[in-house]
Amino acid sequence: MRHVIIGFLLTTVILLLSSCESLLQLDTFNKQYAASMTAVQAVYTLTAAGVESGRISKEDGRVLLGRADAVRDLFDTARTLRRTNPEEGAAGMQLALAALETLQTELKRVAQP
């Protein structure tokens, strides 16, 4: 029963993961950053739940978590760049958003029943 509930929650939340297009529509860099950090945290949570339920293999889970770390680092780098060069920070944000979208797509693919 627990696996069914976790599977249902995993499927539901995966469907709710927003696309990066909606993050681009936020009106400030800080709002984009905050929403992106929430999305990365969702990847961590969903990956852990997927591994625990057996829906995601341990190896796929390790790969996803490593990629999530890299995406989080890209957002942090974009934020750091923005302090000294807003244009480079904005470009870094675009790169990080593209990486997040790829990560979310990979999570959806791996977690499919």
Residue 108 near residue 42, CB atoms below 8 Å = no
| Exposure of 70 in the CB half-sphere (CA atoms within 13 A) | 13
Q: Is the pLDDT of residue 16 over 60?
A: no
Give the residue extent of every domain in the chain.
2-111
Q: What is the pLDDT of residue 6?
A: 55
Q: Is the pLDDT of residue 12 over 80?
A: no
Q: What is the pLDDT of residue 87?
A: 94
Alpha helices in the chain (DSSP H): 2-16, 20-24, 29-53, 58-84, 86-111
pLDDT tens, residue by residue, 44-94: 988 998 899 888 999 999 999 999 999 999 999 999 999 999 999 999 999
Q: What is the pLDDT of residue 53?
A: 87
- Residues sharing a CB contact under 8 Å with residue 36, sequence separation 6 or more, in sequence order: 23, 75, 96, 97, 100
The model carries a pTM of 0.79
Rounded to whole angstroms, the maximal C-alpha distance in the chain is 52
| Exposure of 58 in the CB half-sphere (CA atoms within 13 A) | 0
Report the C-alpha gap between 57 and 107 in whole angstroms. Answer: 12
